[in-house]
Amino acid sequence: MLKDITIGQHYPTGSIIHKLDPRTKILITFAIILSLFIVENFVGYLYIAGFIAAAIGVSKIPFKYMIKGLRPLYILIFITFLINVFMTRGEVIFSIGPLNATRQGVYQAVFMAIRLILLVIGTSLLTLTTSPIMLTDGIEHLLNPFKKIGVPAHELAMMMTIALRFIPTLLEETDKIMKAQIARGADFESGNIINRAKSLVPLLVPLFISAFRRADELAMAMEARCYRGGDNRTRMKQLKMEKKDLMSFVIMSGLLMILVYIRVS
């Protein structure tokens, strides 16, 4: 289960999407998130799903790898589905005790489930096609205009990137701790959901200790290299918008215009 989480991982393939400016990919990702909340019917979702599917195809990332990232979220999607089915008022289809499943609830449940799936896949594509260094530079450049009002652009970009980068590291550490405890007789598989959750409690102490140790090592390494934040910082690769970035904005703008037209029509 832990190995199925793809958030924060980078999957280099050398595709044209990998070569796009990170600012372009960040802005397009925000546009995808915005578009998911613009649409009010399944027709809009078809356009968004087609756009994401085309992006996955161009990125050369295996589709099975993208779907694998959804496995840890199956329970969340299922719970969201049930809440919408039984908590939305409308025409009753069937009842389970005091709970009534409605036709409108089923429609809303499917609608929200698709939204969550597209949201996870669309945002995962950003980290899978962008290295942590490039992601940091992209976020910092986008936040630079806000420096005038006191926003620490470089520090925020660094914190967000380190947080994303540490997700796979902590998952790997958790997997090692689980295997070590299983070898000593721990059981994480048997019992109901509550018992399984309780069995994970002993993982927290060694995991927190490992996380703090890694954070301390990272801080020492940055101090040893005389890290002083974004002031007078140079970069080996300078960010530069190219024709392919402009074309990506044009395609995304066209998609947004279609979705807005579908909503108002």
pLDDT tens digits, one per residue of 54-67: 999 999 988 888 87
Domain shared by 43 and 169, yes or no? no
pLDDT for 106 equals 87
**Letter for the amino acid at 233?**
R
Domain shared by 12 and 113, yes or no? yes
Domain shared by 242 and 225, yes or no? no
Domain shared by 223 and 242, yes or no? no
> Residues near 28 by Cβ (< 8 Å), separated by ≥ 6?
248, 249, 252
Measure the CA angle with vertex 114, ends 165 and 37; round to 5°. 80
Q: What is the pLDDT along the chain (265 residues), one digit of tens a residue?
A: 555 566 667 788 888 998 899 899 999 999 999 998 888 888 889 999 999 999 999 999 888 888 777 777 778 888 888 888 888 888 888 888 788 888 888 888 899 889 988 988 888 888 889 887 788 888 888 888 888 888 887 778 878 777 777 777 777 788 888 888 888 777 767 767 677 667 777 777 888 888 888 888 888 888 887 777 666 666 667 778 888 899 999 999 998 898 888 888 7
Counting the structural domains of the chain, the total is: 2
Domain shared by 7 and 93, yes or no? yes
- The sign of the dihedral angle between the CA atoms of 107, 108, 113, 114 is positive
Residue whose tokens read 């620490």: 152
- The sign of the dihedral angle between the CA atoms of 183, 186, 192, 193 is negative
Q: Exposed/middle/buried for 128, CB within 10 Å: 0-12, 13-18, 19+?
A: buried
Domain that holds residue 195: 159-233
Number of H-type helices and E-type strands within the chain: 10, 2
Domain shared by 115 and 40, yes or no? yes
Q: Exposed/middle/buried for 51, CB within 10 Å: 0-12, 13-18, 19+?
A: buried
pLDDT for 24 equals 92
